Structure 1
Amino acid sequence: MKKILMLTLLLVIVIGAVTACGSNNKSGSETGTNTATASNTSNASEAPAEKVKLSFWHTWTGDDNLTKAYLKLIDQFQEDHPNITLDIQAMPQDAYKTRLKTAAAANEMPDVFLAWAGAMTKELVAGKAVRPLNDLLDSKPEWKNSFLANSFNDFTVDNQIYGIPTELTPTSLVYYNKSFFDQYGVKVPQTWDELKQAVEIFKKNNVIPIALGDKGSWLAQSCILSALADRVTGTEWFLNAAAQNGAKFTDPEFVKSLTYLQELAKIGAFQDGFISIDNVGQEQLYNQGKAAMFIEGAWAVTNLVTQSPKDILDATHVTILPAIPGGKGKANSTSGVVGAGPAISSNMDEAKKAAAYELVYALSGPEAQKMSVENNKLVSYKVDVPADKVSPLFAEVNQLVGTLEFSPVYDAALTSAGTDAVNNGLQELLLGGDPQKIAEKIQAAVAKSLGK
């Protein structure tokens, strides 16, 4: 377990000011609403004497073990807190983010909700939709000091902390079925040419080279382009372009990165109909033995461990996208973030705030962090868990990411309008659109959103 802690520490130190996308991304489940009662036992604040009702939104809608663990945690909270009534709404991530933006614009935020570090946090703060959590953290110094270095950076605006991290997420990992590589004599790609060769061989043998599910329009951006483009442009260029500080998305290096991604589509790396399925669908294609690879974040480990047939899981290993010839970015890197965590609305009285603090602590306190690791999820918190509590695939991911540097995830650094332009542009790109024209649309959206 010491190895896991050391590797996780390396991850957080490298992320620094970079940040935030996401996370749990199970989709396709129906929205659920549940009202239950719940009491107050932690020391986060004085327990409210009267009955308090809290609205709580989250994205735990899947069937994996981690989701079940979080739902069990919420059930336990409700048993332990009979003076707090929870009005719970669960939504798949894509629908959740859209609804949260709508709620923020209408000043109708839920009392407690999951927020993503980086751009989302900054926008919620700018809209005065969230309340700082510094006093909660300061009231529990042992808890606060057990987070790894830089964990709160991307939940912080003007020295105020607005969310508690519950995950640490490399967003771009290549999961591959080694049995396919062995069967067809294919080398696990370490160069761009080797990746293209692998695609051609698998396609010739009626195997989907890379399963892709971009129905939600975020996956190609967060899980592929964020890492691929950094290989081409380098991190400094992207951060400058995101801030419109001496770099533009019409610059040749960014257009070139779009061309590399489009090249994969042109040679048949992805299956037909990739816009009609989501990340769950791409995992299903992989688990059905129809695809040699898929590209997703570390969260996919939990899904694979829970849902993959034994022969598929045993053959599954993980790597990163290969180097790009002449690229300005570091080859031994991947995109990554400190992901989602609980936050609270700015619009509540002191009794509600005290109750909300209880729930935030239950969702992100030491026991919740330990629960996450035991269910194969990386966290930015010091947790000591016996090695036999985690899967071999999770251990392999830890070993890999501990050797990597991290680059920004696009949707964590861009404005919402900029992110939407990239997401929509990549779908157009993968369907044959002109890289230059798509770059121009992205540049216009980013510049307009920043007033430049």
Structure 2
Amino acid sequence: MKIRKILALGLAVVFAVGTLAGCGGKEETAETGSEGENSGDRVLHIGGHTRMYPGEEEAWEAAAAQFEEENPGVKVEINWQGSFDDVAESVQAAKLAKETIDLYSCGARVIQNSLAPAQICMDMTDLVKPYEDRFVEGMLDSATVGEKVWSIPIGSSGTCSFYYNKTMFDELGLEEPASFEELAEVCKVIKEKKNITPILQQGSLATYWPMWFMETYAQTTGNQSVENVEAFLSGERTFDTEEETEAFELIKQFFDEGLIDSNSLNTDSDGMRAAFSQEKSAIFFGGTWEYTNVEEVVGDSFEIGVFEFPSMVEGVQAQHGGGCGTSLFIPTFCNQENMDLIMKFVELITRPEYAGPIIEAAGPIIPSIKGVEAQGSTEGESNFIQDINDNHAQHIITYLDWVWPSEINDVVAQAIPAVGTGNISAQDAVEEIQSTYERLVTEGYQYDWWSTWTDEQWETVTPSTIPESYA
């Protein structure tokens, strides 16, 4: 199809990914064991992708030090390696290399879409019961698939918003836009008065584009996007209907009206934040998790504001993808003799005094652990946090990339800029998504994977023991 040619030739460079890094850590052998085993200590192995926020590593190290103090004779070895986007490959590589990892910290999406279906994650349903009341209501929902809990959320619930230079808006007499027409007028004024790019997107990172589709598709489906995707993945409807096509065409309007230009296709997160902080752009669309990094580069230069994705379909409420991102799961290739240590650490890491610094490093908007306060000690931050909680958070639905498989997400991510720049049509895009799904089904994909597991498969993900409560 045309889309395959365009994506292969035109977008390969834009969305090329680096060499995948395997999960680090020493392979243990019968002769040598781990360093801790040689010294007579028990060792708890914690792994995850490289930490992304200042102070995050230190917060984990402080929790590990406290755990060692409370459990004499136990060592905690932490190994952060690889990127956020390479987690599935890193964990699989660690398993094949017969490494031991007792707890792994990563994003919830890869757990839902890849690791749990691949029997990489232990069923934590019974393990976490003694600690359920430590989580903010609804937070464990993002860790639950097929009525089983596969991880625990140690982070902040995120969603998507437009960030903007509020100081510049005030200077130009601009109000937060509620509709696409209002946003287009705002961008027109910014172009005329400031001669800068109104909206600059981190478009060289393919993973950010599906957030746009989640917004427009929520509107074209009349707020039934999650239900429609679940029906699509279950084979009950196709993905090449008018609703899907219109969702792509609405995104194309941002390109057609000049709100987004080709500069966004070659801009990464650092470039986007730099342009925003230097007032070379006025607006960008991103996750609430980005606020800490944006605030750091902006400093006191100007005040930051946020507004919701604009209404593009009359009479339909805007909805935004959301869920608690950073999670902790138990790999099925853990040392099951360490299950008591694993759950003791879970108990410690869900105490607000230790979860707090980890969550706060990312600038928590809606923390997952009770007793951890949302960021917002200064007046400017308070306005931002209040706006998110009073408005954006009221319209959160599940991230679609937590529902559909990664192969579908990849096609959506690549199709959006291709449609936006006119290299393919919206119809080409939805047909490619539909054909990708059909191919996955022939290869054995099943949305409700848990419903057909054998007793042997369930045994693989079931803990050999359920330790006593350490609460």
TM-score normalised by length of structure 2: 0.75
What is the match of residue 54 of structure 2? 64
Amino acid at match of 1:111: D
Amino acid at match of 2:330: I
- Give distance in 2, aligned partners of 1:120 and 1:307: 31
Change (3 A) 1:67 1:396: farther
Among 421, 427, 437, the alignment partner of 1:431 is 421
Among 193, 202, 213, the alignment partner of 1:213 is 202
Alignment of 1:258-297 (within 5 A): 258-297=248-287
SS in 2 for 1:212: coil
**Maintained 8 Å contact 1:130/1:344:** yes
Gaps of 5+ in 1: 1-26, 37-48
Among 357, 364, 373, the alignment partner of 2:343 is 357
Change (3 A) 1:394 1:347: farther
**Maintained 8 Å contact 1:53/1:86:** yes
Amino acid at match of 1:303: N
Alignment of 1:78-227 (within 5 A): 83-100=74-91, 110-117=101-108, 120-121=111-112, 123-138=114-129, 141=130, 143-204=131-192, 205-222=194-211, 224-227=212-215
Amino acid at match of 2:142: D
Among 417, 433, 452, the alignment partner of 1:442 is 433
Alignment of 1:380-419 (within 5 A): 380-383=368-371, 385=373, 389=377, 392-393=380-381, 396-403=384-391, 404-419=394-409
What is the match of residue 231 of structure 2? 243
**Maintained 8 Å contact 2:153/2:326:** yes
- Give distance in 2, aligned partners of 1:108 and 1:425: 37
**Maintained 8 Å contact 1:94/1:216:** no
Q: 1:332-384: per-residue Cα shift (whole Å, max 9, x none)?
A: x3221122211011123333333333444444433233335655312123226
Q: How far off its partner does 1:258 sit? A: 0.8
Change (3 A) 1:124 1:108: farther
**Maintained 8 Å contact 1:415/1:449:** no
Q: Give the root-mean-square deviation of aligned CA atoms.
A: 3.4
- Give distance in 2, aligned partners of 1:391 and 1:137: 37
- Give distance in 2, aligned partners of 1:155 and 1:67: 23
Q: How far off its partner does 1:114 sit? A: 2.2
Change (3 A) 1:320 1:133: same
Amino acid at match of 2:160: S
Which aligned segments of 4 or more residues in structure 1 are displaced greater than 6 angstroms?
30-36, 104-109
**Quick one: percent identity of the two aligned structures?**
19
Amino acid at match of 2:354: A
SS in 1 for 2:206: coil
Structure 1 window deviating more from structure 2 (257-266 vs 353-362): it is 353-362
- Give distance in 2, aligned partners of 1:124 and 1:33: 14
Q: Which has the larger radius of gyration?
A: 2
Among 353, 361, 368, the alignment partner of 2:354 is 368
SS in 2 for 1:295: strand
Change (3 A) 1:87 1:147: closer
Amino acid at match of 2:260: F
TM-score normalised by length of structure 1: 0.78
- Give distance in 1, aligned partners of 2:405 and 2:209: 17
Change (3 A) 1:72 1:273: farther
Q: 1:194-215: per-residue Cα shift (whole Å, max 9, x none)?
A: 1112222323432221121132
**Maintained 8 Å contact 1:169/1:337:** yes
What is the match of residue 317 of structure 1? 305
Count of aligned positions: 405
Change (3 A) 1:372 1:347: closer
